[in-house]
Amino acid sequence: MNTMTYKGYHARIEYDDDDAIFVGHIAGITDEIGFHAETVPDLKDAFHEAVDDYLETCTKIGKEPQKPYSGKVMFRISPEVHQKAALAAELSGKSLNQWAEEALAGAASRVHPAE
């Protein structure tokens, strides 16, 4: 996976073959923040600068910077999956929230290993 992390913010990195540059976008927030560079070390610097500039700009204009994630997740699943998950949680002696967090963490770590 092509990602970078800085101050709790994550960026998705892609390569633009037409312009021969790396392009990054901060993920997990609705504000659009992008950056680019020709080399990986320069891309890392550009990412850090983009995050620092974002945080500084928010302070200057009196806006609370968006946090990447709040820890609250709301989604809909089928009643059958809900029942199976609730039963699995109960049988393992955990709350549904604890059980779901472990299941999601396991699935996420297969895609984005711990840093």
Cα separation, 49 vs 89, whole angstroms:
43
Helix (H, G, I), strand (E, B) or coil at 20: coil
Tens digits of residue pLDDT in 54-96: 999 999 999 999 887 777 788 899 999 999 999 999 999 988 9
Cα separation, 28 vs 50, whole angstroms:
15
DSSP 8-state symbol, 68: S
Cα separation, 92 vs 94, whole angstroms:
6
pLDDT band at 12 (very low <50, low <70, confident <90, very high): very high
pLDDT for the residue numbered 6: 94
pLDDT band at 1 (very low <50, low <70, confident <90, very high): low
- Total-model pTM: 0.64
Phi first, then psi: give them for residue 35, nearest 5 degrees. Answer: -160, 165
